[in-house]
Amino acid sequence: MAKNKIHEKRTDGAIDDAENNHKIPSTQKGSKKVKKGESKKKKSKKLNSKFYEKELERLQVELVKLQEWVKHKGLKVVVIFEGRDAAGKGGVIKRIVDCLNPRICRIAALGKPTERERTEWYFQRYVAHLPAAGEIVLFDRSWYNRAGVERVMGFCTHAEYVEFLRSCPEFEHMLQRSGIILLKYWFSVSDEEQERRFQARINAPTKRWKLSPMDLESRVRWVEYSKAKDDMFAATDTTRAPWYVVEADDKKRARLNCINHLLSQIPYEDLTPRPIKLPPRQKAMNYVRPPMNMQTFVPSQY
């Protein structure tokens, strides 16, 4: 289950519980020094495609078991996917929902707020997408827009940003106290790999729509986004609602690692139903079907 400790214990000066004094972190807080020789990661050997497909299939079977358990127990699950543009969030979400019932597991991918929504309590439009009993909601980006794109691009005031950092941990802990299981994943991708993926999208007509003007601007403001992410982690990486970082330079490994971790965070039992035996087809009745030429068919082009 999601971690649910009574008190927060932080050493980076970030926000703790609602009862504690709030402190807005500086850029330096929560950051770690990198030792010499650790800045460059060794490139892992490419994952075997057959192994990847087989392991993905196995994990998707487990996801179906988890889905049945969530439905049976009336659990409420929220999974947040955040990270750099082209980091692979959409890819892992797609693999998760591929074999699941869309009535149980759904995706919440909100666009920019309307004029009316801009005047609402910031979390209000996200609350409308939270799960009821027996549901799983995957947020493809979430309320953390305020700590990322809105802050960097100036779509919110400094006061609104500061208030978000103060209230976000309280909001998430309130969700957990209501019985919601909350998981947060940050997909980390290197500058070089993001550049490669952007170029691939530019050159592929079927992927070009994935590149928005905001994505291109994020490349220009790479350092500003890094700073915003560090500050966001310092304030919202709490004991009860931690951030789980997924190394996403290798898409296949990132998908397997994320799904495997997700399954490990929610204890479930196998409720796979017994093999189904089809009932006999209804016997012929005094009924004559209309002629085929009365129906309009799709032309057979292939």
Give 196-228 pLDDT, tens digit per residue: 888 888 888 888 777 777 777 777 888 999 999
Inform me whether the pLDDT recorded for 115 exceeds 60.
yes
**pLDDT given for residue 70 in this prediction:** 98
- Report yes or no on 189 lying in a domain: yes
Helix (H) or strand (E) holding 63: helix 49-73
Q: Which residues contact 245 (CB under 8 A, 6 or more apart)?
A: 185, 186, 188
- Report yes or no on 44 lying in a domain: no
200: left (phi over 0), alpha (psi -120 to 50) or beta: alpha
- Report yes or no on 10 lying in a domain: no
Domain region containing 137: 49-294
- Report yes or no on 217 lying in a domain: yes
Q: What is the pTM of this model?
A: 0.81
**pLDDT given for residue 137 in this prediction:** 98
Inform me whether the pLDDT recorded for 22 exceeds 70.
no
- Report yes or no on 1 lying in a domain: no
- Report yes or no on 22 lying in a domain: no
Q: Give the domain CATH number at 180.
A: 3.40.50.300
**pLDDT given for residue 208 in this prediction:** 77
Residues 145-160: tens digit of each pLDDT = 999 999 999 999 999 9
- Report yes or no on 271 lying in a domain: yes
Number of domains in the chain: 1
Of 195 and 22, the one with more pLDDT: 195
- Report yes or no on 235 lying in a domain: yes
